[in-house]
Amino acid sequence: MALEVNGKTYETDEEGYLLNLSEWDEDIAKVLAESEKVEMSENHWEVVNFLREYYNDYQIAPAVRVLTKAIGKKLGAEKGNSKYLYELFPYGPAKQACKIAGLPKPTGCI
């Protein structure tokens, strides 16, 4: 599969995850978010940018439990809980947010 954004083609897998992580930018993130029916707010960007930092540090996209715990440590308990993250990313905070962040599908996600 491929997406075209601003005249540039981005290759994705069959589920819509970017194949080349280095091609990610905010423009492709907005298109991916739109395809996921997510209207990006400052809180969404905070999670997406956190995920990109996490991936740079550990070379892995975290599963939802790890994501929740890590966000709680960095951004506070009010953001490090499943309820908050599911409000932002209703189809799965790890899976949906990782897709928008240009990261691979987290291990263990269906």
Residue type, 95: K
Q: Which of 43, 50, 109, 110 is catalytic?
A: 109
29 within 8 A of 46, measured Cβ to Cβ? no
98 counts as catalytic: no
| CA 7 to chain CA mean position, Å | 23
Q: How many CA atoms lie within 13 A of 11 on its CB side?
A: 4
Helix (H) or strand (E) holding 10: strand 8-11
Helix (H, G, I), strand (E, B) or coil at 104: coil
Catalytic residues: 109
